[in-house]
Amino acid sequence: MGNTAVKRIGVLTSGGDAPGMNAAIRAVVRTALNKGIDCIGIRRGWSGLINGDFVKLDSGSVGHIINKGGTILYTARCPEFLDRKGRAKAIATCKMLGIDGIVAIGGDGTFRGALALTRQIAESGYKLPVVGVPATIDNDIGCSNYTIGFDTAANTAIECIDKLRDTMQSHERCSVVEVMGRHAGFLALYVGISVGATAVLIPEREVDFDRDIVEKIRSARLAGTTHFMIVVAEGAGSAVEIGKRIHEEIGIDPRVTVLGHIQRGGAPTGRDRETASRMGYEAVNALLADRGNRIIGTKEGSIVDLDMEEALAMVKNLEMYRYEVLEALTPSGT
């Protein structure tokens, strides 16, 4: 049975931005309006909920944004939300606006903030369900096979590295490229396989410099390769330092590129637009079905929703099988 008490919902984006967030916002707003529900955009994440930074959204507000990167609602970190007093201000804003539920689009930090908020609300006897939609280019949310933004970020990195490869081949050089991934190597390994990297360094695998870089470059050179591509997740080490060490130990003069926040920008791919649209649609349906405090995710291509506490306890382990694929396809001198 649907929840007829839901008259107005809020939507926000929090944490690092990811391509496809706008598509998710659009889906939430238009699904809500289709169901006869008002939608309030909370700007600058949880900070906006504390400070009352909001805008009423209609169908026109989210027109022509499905193809745009970033987020029209802006995003921000909010240390104040970690404190009970900060969350109390957020609750007061919800009461003042008459918000009956929230869709929070972001990553792990966003969802942990949502969980803390719902727990504090429950203590006061006030009901305000929150549904999370996973959007992070790191693809490291344990409860979901896929997160919004990963495909676009990967394709951006691949396009940049393909261009670097052209000049590396021309000059017979080594390139060290740092991609995002402070705690997870999903992006680096996916990109590394896609560009035919000589070596990939990820946080999940302890780096042995001789084994993981020196010997791979030597083997590739013995196999006839004269240019080398090393992909490094930022959490596995500094590309600059790795480049210096390659020069010291092998005598090669590498060119170092740190892709940085370019990976967060650009028009989202079809996969991110379509996934974000389905996730936003299901987030609103979860609130209407009185399934609050959930996280929307994907499982084998289908959209699912899971209990927030259980979902946040899940851990997504990198498939080391992918690393085996990379090694099998790397040129060898043996």
DSSP state of 295: E
The DSSP result for 72-101, as a single string, is: TT-----GGGGSHHHHHHHHHHHHHHT--E
Pairing of strands 38-42, 54-57: antiparallel
Is 138 a known active-site residue? Answer: yes
Among candidate residues 38, 53, 138, 212, the one labeled active-site is 138
Kindly compute the dihedral angle of the four CA atoms of residues 157, 162, 165, 170, in this order, to the nearest 10 degrees: -150
Distance CA 48, CA 91 (A): 12
Token pair, residue 157, equals 């990195």
Going by C-alpha positions, the residue among 325, 324, 293, 328 that lies closest to residue 309 is 293
Q: 304 Cβ partners below 8 Å, 6+ apart?
A: 296, 297, 298
Going by C-alpha positions, the residue among 261, 283, 265 that lies closest to residue 67 is 265
Query: 156-161: which pairs have CB atoms within 8 A and are 24 or more residues apart?
Result: 156/259, 156/262, 156/263, 156/265, 156/266, 157/187, 157/191, 157/259, 157/263, 158/191, 158/194, 158/195, 160/257, 160/259, 160/262, 161/191, 161/195, 161/229, 161/231
Residue type, 96: M
| Catalytic residue set | 138
